[in-house]
Structure 1
Amino acid sequence: MVAVFNKELLSWYLITLKLNQTVETGIHNAQSPSVSGSVEFRQDINGQIRQESQSSNSIEVPIKDEESGQVQQDKIKTPESDWVISIKEKLDQAQNDDAASSWARLCIYRVPHCLRDGDDKAYIPQIVSLGPYHHGKKRLRNMDQHKWRAVHRLLKRTNQDITTYLDAVKELEEKTRACYEGTICLSSNEFVEMMVLDSCFVLELLCGAAGGFTQLGYSRNDPIFAMRGSMHSIQRDMIMLENQIPLFVLDRLLGLQSGNPDQKGVVARLALRFFDPLMPTDEPLTKRNRKKVESSIGKESTFDPLTEQGGLHCLEVFRRSLLAIRVGPKPTPRIWIKRWSHTNRVADKRRQQLIHCVTELKDSGIKFKRRKTDRFWDIKFKNGVLKIPRLLIHDGTKSLFLNLIAYEQCHLDCSNDITSYVIFMDNLIDSAADVSYLHYCGIIEHWLGSDAEVAELFNRLCQEVVFDINDSNFSRLSEQVNQYYDHRWNAWRATLKSKYFSNPWAIISFIAAVVLLLLTSAQTFYGIFSYYRPSNG
């Protein structure tokens, strides 16, 4: 099209010309398709005159070519056709997203909104971001300079070039992206740079915590690379579900440092030591169990649903260490649809009641004792005594349990051991009085402000958790406790003991009352006996 300077004059001319042609021929309506609605002429932004029909279908209308003077036919797309095209594009995208291979390695999830319940701080890192989910956030950028320091120190110490690490991560890019949920909106170079930067930072922390940061060349007063200051907050950020890096990436980069690129399991063993301060128990791992945990990492006989996929991360390593690595056959994967069936209404909070609270159980005669073991979930019940290992609650316990529960909820091939334990403790603890008694028994030790805060913590941990009580490790134990609770004789015996045998003075009073009752009964008996059988004297 050529430029038109007097568009208004040309428009009126073309309109008049078209009207004259329509009147003279008289056949325009007969030759056109049966299209209902009015016809109007519009001038587009290029000065063209278009004849458009107010119809829901696509039609051909004449268009005047300003250069050649010829009348051409053009097809106008209606909004309905664009709508159908957009739907087809969405279906094509859904087909790509639904590919089986896209879910095979997924292991690092975004925490569902239904689980957050206003506790975003428990799931969102506060100091350092790792991976793509929180990459580039303004409040986390201050740590970038320390990440680059870590990379510089590592390259200087190993006398290597950064391209070695970039090339290694570049080879793993597709496999690494598959570990994350959803589309990662980063270019290839940006993604590789981020993974190298974050991975080197993590490796420096793990190696420094195990062998000493001064051995790696860091100053004793370093604000980050020292086992003090903000290290506890960094550890809490690094254990969050949305803040993970696939373990195979860390293994590859650590292997490049040591000259053994194919090594596996070293990073996992370093992670066990690094996250040991977050353990919810003050009972240290016995040498036997610690050796069992470390030696089992990387072996096929160990229950690790991600071993074949290579998608293990630090949160899963920490979770396995909590469960003391249950060696055995791989369990049957849980089926998501089962959770929503009518026969297993697992989303009903009322059906998640495994056991009565501490106060009610205590009134029924059940005793509570501390069980000395490093496995905080190993609870036993025998002869009316519920033995529970000590649980240490600190300011990071809430975030730790929430992220472990979120991982077990999201990853279907993962068992619900931690979720079962937290729900069991939630049932036991209803009030500050329950926490106070467990503290008195040496079962709960906490660093929070009050017993009421501990009770509120447990009561809020599993509010929106989908849980099948039939799939709990504590189902059998809870059934035994409830049977003991329902036996009335146990409750009567407990009431008698609490009221009359609670202290020595109560015992003396009870014995005196019994003796007095016996003497009174004997006196009454002899009185009646002498009345009916008087003496012969």
Structure 2
Amino acid sequence: MAQEYVAIKVDNTSDTATKQQANTGHDQPLGGTGSNVQDDVPLSPTEKNFLEEIKPERAGGTSSSKKQKSQHTKIQQVPEMLRREHFNKYFQPRAIAIGPLHHNSKTMFDEDIKKKLAAEFVKKMEHDKSPEESNQAKSSKEGDQAESLYRIIKKNIEHLKTYFDEKVIKSYNDESLAIMLFSDGCSIMQFIYSCARGDLKLFNINNGQAALIQQDLFLLENQIPYKVLKLLMKNSSSHKPEDLEESIKAFIRMNVMSPAKYSENIELDLGTETKEPVHLLDLLRSALLQEDNSDHHQIYGHHHNHHLKKDFSKCQVEYKRTFRNIQDLKAAGIKVEPSDTCSLRDVSFSALCFAGYLKLPPLIVDDSTGRKLLNLVAYEMCPDKFQTEDGVTSYVYFLDSLIDNEEDAKDLRMATIFRNRLSSDAEVAKMFNEIGTDLVPVPGYVDVKIKIQKHYDNRCMTWVAQVYRDHFSSPWTILALTAAVIVLVLTGVQTWFAVLPRG
């Protein structure tokens, strides 16, 4: 379990030193002025080429034009840091391959299942039209629904290519990429629509296979742009695009890894023309963090933005956290309870008298949980990420810091925070320890950690908590203590009467 900081101190000594140096009178830099250096030091062609290559416009730097080109994180490979052999099971599709990265990968289903789903999607849209709309479609040059939809994808192919890292699609021309996006987009839409309605049996897909396909649709390397799905929804049916949008919302709620009473209350925004999800994984992340309804400070704390405004070179990280896991928190009188929502932001700590209460969002832990969480972590680790918050990474890192063994996982299960659908509590602990391995520490839940540490360091509270745990944690210990007190009182009374002089 990695160490982490709970506070940041700002060292202003460098400012003082700079001011003192400025007052010494050494105004000229060593070696002369910039113009003199330019004249006195000749540069070779190799040196000039190197300097040309690192200009912002050549190296992808911070020029404003470069920023305007990319308003989203591109679809790309898992970051190098997470591409380890024992992590392959978290990132490789098992049932269905979507997008260019795994297009030729061997999976449970071949391309035929995608063709069946895509054909049903096009057919479904034709059936949903009114008789007048159907007659209009037949008389139109683009009356064939499949051809009409494909033309729309092909028309937008240049824009759709901007959602991919160049290395991902370098082996595809516009035609092959358009065919793949059209086929994958239609099959995804039909699968989601059928999954939400519970009629996947039409495609001979059983519940176990459907669960695997759902997992595959949330892999970082198994994504296509959400823009493809939006184009299909918008143009396939003029009067029921809202049905398709509702099916996507229902599908996301099914996959947020929370009990239904929590997930059914999640508000999902499928975006506007100017701001929309990058892909399904990005939409799942928004649902888990509930970004539109929560405060950024709940994860990063009120100290975070203040310190980011300081010069980072002056910041001194202080490693202070001394509690190791749930068992340490229990010993200090801190109880864990489920939060009121399933948002990963909804982590809080409060103290009442001598007891502390750590609230964590409820989580369903099954064989899909590790894959979803680690792919979300990988998404947040992408070097070109557009979002600034590592919300899921903070959550995974925090849970990993609280879980060392099966006893910790058991306590979280007993507190109804974990709904464990794996074989044992040991499996849960192993999973979190595995996906939390070598994660870079992130400043998540800073305020919560500071409050926990303050309570943990209070020896008086810890002592009272130990007394309560030893003598008042169960009815039997309370009865035993009460009986002992009664016996002592009766013994004292009997002794007093025995020595009391008569008369």
Same fold (TM over 0.5): yes
In the TM superposition, residue 179 of structure 1 has moved relative to its aligned partner by 0.9
Using the alignment, how far apart are the partners of 2:320 and 2:391 within structure 1? 15
Change (3 A) 1:342 1:458: farther
- CA offset at residue 355 of structure 1? 5.6
Q: Does structure 1 residue 120 correspond to structure 2 residue 97? A: no
Alignment of 1:466-485 (within 5 A): 466-469=440-443, 472=444, 474-485=445-456
What is the match of residue 185 of structure 2? 199
1:273 aligned onto 2:255: no
1:95 aligns with 2:58: yes
Inter-partner Cα distance in structure 1 for 2:89 and 2:424: 21
Question: How far apart, in 1, do the equivalents of 2:262 and 2:377 lie?
Answer: 22
Could you tell me which amino acid in structure 1 is paired with residue 348 of structure 2?
K
Partners of 1:133 and 1:242 within 8 A in 2: yes
Structure 1 position 248 matched with structure 2 position 227: yes
Distance 1:430 1:379 in 2: 19
| Shift in Å, 1:193 | 1.0
Distance across 2 between alignment mates of 1:352 and 1:463: 21
**Alignment match, 1:234:** 213
Matched, 1:314 2:280: yes
* Cross-structure match for 2:236: 257
Paired residue for 1:459?
433
CA distance in 2 between counterparts of 1:245 and 1:87 reads 36
Further displaced range: 428-437 or 267-276? 267-276
- Per-residue CA deviations over 1:476-511 (Å, capped at 9, x if unaligned) read 122212211111111211222222334455445545
| Kept after mapping to 2: 8 A contact 1:170/1:192 | yes
Deviation readout 1:67-116 (Å, 9 max, x if unpaired) = xxxxxxxxxxxxxx9x99x9999999x93866726544443232112124
Q: Does residue 1:438 correspond to 2:412, yes or no?
A: yes
Is residue 265–residue 298 contact of structure 1 (8 Å, CA) maintained in 2? no
Partner Cα distance (2:219, 2:316) in 1: 29
Amino acid at match of 1:150: L
Residue of 373, 376, 401 corresponding to 1:427: 401
Query: Which of the numbers 374, 380, 388 marks the counterpart of 1:408?
Result: 380
Mapping for residues 52-67 of structure 1, pairs under 5 Å: none
Answer yes or no: is 1:110 the counterpart of 2:77: yes
Partner SS, residue 230 of structure 1 = helix
1:169 maps to what in 2?
Answer: 153
The one-letter amino acid of 1:126's match is R
Q: Give unmatched runs, 5+ long, in structure 1.
A: 1-80, 215-219, 300-306
Matched letter for residue 371 of structure 2: S
- CA displacement at 1:521 relative to structure 2: 8.3
What SS class does the counterpart of residue 392 from structure 1 fall into? Answer: strand
Amino acid at match of 1:108: I
Deviates more, 1:350-359 or 1:445-454: 350-359
Q: Judging changes above 3 Å, is the alpha-carbon distance between structure 1 residues 341 and 467 closer, same or farther for their aligned structure 2 residues?
A: farther
Aligned partner of residue 207 in structure 2, secondary structure:
coil
Among residues 438, 458, 462, which one is paired with 1:487 in the alignment? 458
Q: Is the 8 A contact 2:365 2:421 kept in 1?
A: yes
1:372-399: CA deviation from partner (whole Å, max 9, x where unpaired): 5444652333322223343210010000
Return the offset for 1:212: 5.5
Q: Distance in 2 between matches of 1:352 and 1:480?
A: 12
Tell me if the contact between 1:151 and 1:200 (Cα under 8 Å) persists in the aligned partners.
yes
* Contact preservation (8 Å) 1:106, 1:181: no
Moved more, 155-164 or 393-402: 155-164
Tell me the distance in 1 between the aligned counterparts of 2:311 and 2:374.
22
CA distance, structure 2, for counterparts of residue 477 and residue 380 of structure 1? 6
SS in 1 for 2:329: helix
Return the match for 1:326 from 277, 292, 296. Answer: 292
Corresponding position of 2:203: 222
Instruction: State how 1:45-84 maps to structure 2 within 5 Å.
Output: none
Task: Label 1:89 to 1:311 Cα distance change in 2 as closer, same or farther (>3 A).
Answer: farther
Pairing partner for 2:271 from 292, 295, 298: 298
**Residue of structure 2 equivalent to 1:59:** none
**How many Å separate the matches in 2 of 1:524 and 1:141?**
83
d(CA) in 2 for partners of 1:376, 1:330: 11
Match of 2:163 among 150, 165, 179: 179
For 1:343 and 1:455, locate their aligned partners in 2 and report how far apart those are by CA, in whole Å.
38
The alignment-based identity, stated in percent, is 26
Q: Which residue of 1 aligns with 2:329?
A: 361
Q: What is the match of residue 58 of structure 1? A: none
Aligned 8 A contact 1:391 1:445 in 2:
yes
Q: Distance in 1 between matches of 2:373 and 2:362?
A: 16
Contact 2:338/2:416 (<8 A) preserved: yes
2:111 to 144, 148, 171: 144
CA distance in 2, matches of 1:407, 1:351: 27
Q: Secondary structure at the match of 2:98?
A: coil
Decide whether the 8 Å contact of 1:357 with 1:429 is kept in 2.
yes
* Structure of larger gyration radius: 1
Given residue 298 of structure 1, which amino acid in structure 2 is its aligned partner?
Answer: G
Report deviation, 1:191.
0.9
Structure of greater relative contact order (alpha carbons < 8 Å, 6+ residues apart): 2
Per-residue CA shift, 1:178-221, capped at 9, x if unaligned?
A: 1112321211211111111111111111222234548xxxxx45
On the 8 A contact 1:369/1:443 being kept in 2, the answer is yes
1:501 maps to 2:464? no
SS of residue matched to 2:358: strand
Aligned partner of 2:368 in structure 1 is 396
Which segments of 5 or more consecutive residues in structure 2 lack a partner in the other structure?
1-44, 127-142
What does residue 196 of structure 2 align with? 210
Secondary structure of the residue aligned to 2:175 is helix
Question: Residues of 2 paired with 1:328 and 1:368: CA distance?
Answer: 21
Distance 1:284 1:91 in 2: 53
Structure 1 length normalisation: TM-score?
Answer: 0.67
| Higher mean C-alpha deviation, range 269-278 or range 506-515 | 506-515
Q: State the AA in 2 paired with 1:124.
A: Q
Could you tell me whether the CA contact under 8 Å between 1:268 and 1:317 is conserved in 2? no
Q: 1:320 and 1:241 mapped to 2: Cα distance?
A: 15
Shift of 1:327: 4.3
The alpha-carbon distance between structure 1 residues 429 and 130, as it changes in their structure 2 partners (threshold 3 A), is same
Taking a change above 3 Å as real, the CA distance of residues 406 and 328 of structure 1, as seen in their structure-2 partners, is same
Measured in 1, the distance between the counterparts of 2:162 and 2:71 equals 8
Q: 1:125 Cα shift?
A: 1.1
Contact 1:251/1:266, CA 8 A, preserved across alignment: no
Please tell me whether the aligned partners of residues 398 and 457 of structure 1 are also in contact (alpha carbons under 8 angstroms): yes
Counting matched residue pairs gives 423
Task: Write the distance in 1 (CA, Å) between the matches of 2:421 and 2:407.
Answer: 17
